[in-house]
C-alpha cells in the first residue's frame, strides 16, 4: 500500500478509536455503579467495534464471501449508530456543564443517568429512522429545457440514478428494486454518473444482472465515479460492457442528434486533461450536450466548452447529519438539485444508495426522471 493511503487510514482509525474512548468515558461517568468487570467488558467491546469498520472495509477490497459481507454489514451498521451515540455523548457533556450553572447543581449526580438515557435513546431512535429513510426511494420529476435540443428529443424522458454503491451492503435485491422502478417509469434513456459499485471485491456481473431488465430504447450510459475506480477500471467496466451498457470513459456518443459525453472521476481530477478532451469534441458546434461527471465540479470548464447539462452525484446530500452541513460547505448550492452556472445547467443527485452506514438522516435516496422540453 502506498504511503498516503496508509497515512489516511491510520489517521481515520486513530480518530475513531479516540471517539470510542470518549463514548466509553462518558457512559462510565454518567452511569455510575457499574462493576469493574462490566466496565472492562464494555471497554473491550468498544475497542473491537472501533476497529471494525476499517478492518472489514479493507477485507472487502480483497475478499468476497459470506462471512466478509456479514462482518462488513455489521460494522457499517455500528458506524451509523455510533455517529449518533457520539453526538449524544457530546450533548451529555454539554448538559452536564449547563446544569452546573443552575440550582439543580447539588443534584447533578442523581440527574446524570436520566440525562444519559434521554440523549442515548434519542441517538438510537435517530439511527432507526435513518435505516428506514434510506430504504424509501423518492422519485423526483424534473423538466429540463436545453438550447439546441433536437426536436425528436422533446418530451422524451431520461432516468437518472447515481451512487448505488452495489457491493457488500446493497446487492442484487437493491438493483432489482431499481430495475422495477425503471420498468414502471419507462424512460427513453438511462444515465448513471458514477459509483454504481462500492469498490469491494463483490462480483460485479452478479450485482448488475437485474439492471439488464431496464432495456430503455436508447440505452444505458455510465461514467465512472471514485468508488468505481477502487478495484481497477477494467474490473467494473468489463461487466457493464458485457451487459450492454454504454461505458463513456472519456468518450462521446451521439444519439439522434443529442451529444452524450462521459468523463471518468480520474480524468476530472486533472483540469487540463479534462479541458483538452472536451475542447477536442467541439460541443458548441453539435447542438445540445449532456456530460456525465461524477462530482459536481469543473463547472467553468464544462460551461466554457459548451456543455448544456451536467449530471452528477457523489455528494449524497451529505447522507448523514451533521455531515450534511459539511457537504453543503464543500459544494454550496451544487450539493443537490438543478442549478445554473452561466449557460450550463447542473443537476446533482443525492443518489439512491448509501456508502458505509446504510442510513440517511437529513438527506433522502432518489431516482430522477428528467423530461426534455
> In sequence order, which residues have a C-beta less than 8 Å from that of residue 140 and are 6 or more positions away?
366, 367, 368, 369
Confidence of residue 33 (pLDDT cuts 50, 70, 90): confident
Residue 197, beta-bridge partner list: 166
- What CATH architecture applies to the domain 139-372? 4-Layer Sandwich (3.60)
Residues 320-335: pLDDT tens digits? Answer: 999 999 999 999 999 9
CB 364 within 8 A of CB 136: yes
Is it the case that residue 31 has pLDDT exceeding 90? no
Is it the case that residue 235 has pLDDT exceeding 90? no
Residue 167: per-residue pLDDT: 94
230-241: average pLDDT = 83
Residues 121-148: pLDDT tens digits? Answer: 999 999 999 999 999 999 999 999 999 9
Residue 337: per-residue pLDDT: 96
Is it the case that residue 80 has pLDDT exceeding 80? yes
CB 213 within 8 A of CB 183: yes
Residues 279-326: pLDDT tens digits? Answer: 999 999 989 999 999 999 999 999 999 999 999 999 999 999 999 999
DSSP-derived secondary structure for 278-300: HHHHTGGGSS-EEEE-SSS--HH
Residue 1: per-residue pLDDT: 53
| 313 burial via Cβ count (<10 Å: 0-12, 13-18, 19+) | buried
Residue 230: per-residue pLDDT: 84
Mean of pLDDT over the chain = 94
Residues 247-264: pLDDT tens digits? Answer: 999 999 999 999 999 999
pTM of the model: 0.92
Domain range annotation of the chain:
3-133, 139-372
Residue 196: per-residue pLDDT: 96
Cell of 360: 440517511
Confidence of residue 105 (pLDDT cuts 50, 70, 90): confident
Residues 163-181: pLDDT tens digits? Answer: 999 999 999 999 999 999 9
Amino acid at each position: 500500500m502506498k504511503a498516503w493511503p496508509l497515512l489516511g487510514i491510520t489517521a481515520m482509525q486513530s480518530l475513531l478509536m479516540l471517539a470510542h474512548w470518549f463514548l466509553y468515558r462518558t457512559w462510565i461517568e454518567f452511569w455510575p455503579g457499574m462493576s469493574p468487570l462490566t466496565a472492562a467488558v464494555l471497554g473491550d467491546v468498544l475497542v473491537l467495534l472501533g476497529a471494525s469498520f476499517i478492518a472489514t472495509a479493507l477485507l472487502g477490497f480483497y475478499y468476497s464471501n459470506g462471512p466478509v459481507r456479514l462482518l462488513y454489514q455489521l460494522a457499517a451498521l455500528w458506524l451509523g449508530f455510533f455517529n449518533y451515540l457520539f453526538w449524544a455523548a457530546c450533548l451529555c457533556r454539554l448538559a452536564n456543564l449547563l446544569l452546573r450553572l443552575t440550582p439543580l447543581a447539588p443534584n447533578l449526580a442523581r440527574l446524570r443517568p436520566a440525562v444519559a438515557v434521554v440523549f442515548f435513546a434519542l441517538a438510537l431512535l435517530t439511527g432507526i429512522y435513518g435505516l428506514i429513510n434510506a430504504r424509501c426511494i423518492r422519485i423526483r420529476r424534473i423538466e429540463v429545457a436545453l438550447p439546441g435540443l433536437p426536436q425528436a428529443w422533446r418530451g422524451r424522458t431520461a432516468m437518472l440514478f447515481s451512487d448505488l454503491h452495489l457491493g457488500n451492503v446493497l446487492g442484487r435485491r437493491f438493483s432489482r428494486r431499481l430495475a422495477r422502478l425503471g420498468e414502471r417509469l419507462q424512460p427513453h434513456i438511462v444515465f448513471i454518473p458514477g459509483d454504481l459499485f462500492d469498490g469491494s471485491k463483490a462480483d460485479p456481473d452478479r450485482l448488475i444482472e437485474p439492471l439488464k431488465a431496464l432495456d430503455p430504447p436508447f440505452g444505458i450510459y455510465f461514467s465512472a465515479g471514485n468508488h468505481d475506480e477502487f478495484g481497477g477500471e477494467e474490473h467494473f467496466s468489463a461487466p457493464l460492457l458485457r451487459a450492454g451498457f454504454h461505458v463513456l470513459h472519456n468518450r462521446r456518443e451521439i444519439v439522434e442528434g443529442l451529444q452524450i459525453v462521459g468523463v471518468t472521476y480520474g480524468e476530472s481530477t486533472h483540469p487540463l486533461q479534462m479541458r483538452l478532451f472536451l475542447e477536442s469534441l467541439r460541443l458548441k458546434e453539435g447542438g445540445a450536450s449532456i456530460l456525465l461527471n461524477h462530482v459536481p465540479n469543473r463547472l467553468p470548464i464544462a460551461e466554457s466548452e459548451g456543455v448544456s447539462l451536467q449530471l452528477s452525484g457523489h455528494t449524497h446530500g451529505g447522507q448523514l447529519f451533521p455531515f450534511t452541513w459539511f457537504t453543503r460547505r464543500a459544494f454550496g448550492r451544487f450539493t443537490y438539485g438543478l442549478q445554473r452556472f452561466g449557460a450550463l445547467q447542473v443537476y446533482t443527485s443525492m443518489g439512491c444508495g448509501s456508502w458505509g452506514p446504510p442510513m440517511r438522516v437529513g438527506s433522502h435516496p432518489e431516482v430522477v426522471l428528467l423530461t426534455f422540453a
